[in-house]
Structure 1
Amino acid sequence: MKKHLEMDSRVSVTVGVHPHMLFIGTYNGSFRKLEALVNDTPRVVGIGEVGLDFTTACRCRQSHDRTVCKRDKLEAQRQFLRMCLPMADRMRKPIVIHCRDSGNGLAAKQTLLLFRELNLTHMPVQRYCFIGSSEELVQWSTVLPNCMFSLSMRSLQDRNTREALVQHADAKRLLLETDADRCSLFG
Structure 2
Amino acid sequence: MQRLVDSHTHLDHFPTQEIDSIVTRAIENRVGLIISAGTTLESSEHCVNLSKIIPMVFAGVGIHPMDLTEKIGNKTYKALEALASENPKVACISEIGLDFLPTSPAYDIQMQSFKRQINLARDLDKPVIVHSREAHPEVLKTLMQENAQSIGGVLHYYQGDLYTAQTYINMGFSISMAKPLLRINELQNVAKTIPLESIVLETDSAPQPWKKYRHRWTEPFHVIQVAEKLAELKNLPVET
Same fold, judged at TM 0.5 (above):
yes
- TM-score, normalised to structure 2's length? 0.61
- Structure 1 residue 171 corresponds to structure 2 residue 196: yes
Aligned counterparts of 1:156 and 1:100: Cα–Cα separation in 2? 20
**Distance in 2, Cα, partners of 1:182 & 1:22:** 25
CA offsets per residue over residues 99-146 of structure 1, 9 Å max, x none?
Answer: 111xxxxx111111112112332322111101101111111112x12x
Q: Among residues 20, 24, 27, which one is paired with 2:72 in the alignment?
A: 27
Q: Give the CA deviation at 1:8.
A: 3.7
- Work out which of the residue numbers 115, 133, 139 in structure 2 matches 1:100: 133
Letter in 2 for 1:7: I
CA displacement at 1:5 relative to structure 2? 3.2
For residues 64-103 of structure 1, the aligned pairs below 5 Å read 70=105, 72=106, 74-101=107-134
Residues 148-167 of structure 1 mapped to structure 2, 5 A cutoff: 148-166=174-192
Unaligned regions of 5+ residues in structure 2, if any?
1-45, 206-216, 227-240
**Which of residues 95, 101, 119 is equivalent to 1:49?**
95
3-state SS in 1 of match to 2:52: helix
TM-superposed CA distance for 1:33, in Å, is 2.9
Secondary structure of the structure 1 residue equivalent to 2:197: helix
2:164 maps to 136
- Shift in alpha-carbon separation, 1:6–1:26, aligned structure 2, 3 A: same
- 8 Å CA contact 2:63–2:95 kept in 1: the answer is yes
Shift of 1:22: 0.7
Contact in 2 for aligned 1:5/1:12 (Cα 8 Å): yes
> Counterpart amino acid of 2:129?
V
Which amino acid letter does the alignment assign opposite residue 31 of structure 1?
Answer: Y
More RCO (CA 8 Å, sep 6+): 2
Letter in 1 for 2:72: Y
Greater shift in the superposed pair: 44-53 or 174-183:
174-183
Contact 1:31 1:80 in 2 (8 A): no
How much identity, in percent, do the aligned residues show?
21
Q: State the Cα distance separating 1:30 from its structure 2 match.
A: 4.0
Residue equivalent to 1:14: 60
* CA distance, structure 1, for counterparts of residue 85 and residue 150 of structure 2: 22
**TM-score, scaled to structure 1:** 0.76
Distance 1:118 1:4 in 2: 31
Q: Please list every run of 5 or more consecutive structure 1 residues that lacks an aligned counterpart in the other structure.
A: 59-69, 102-106
1:49/1:56 CA distance change after superposition, 3 Å: farther
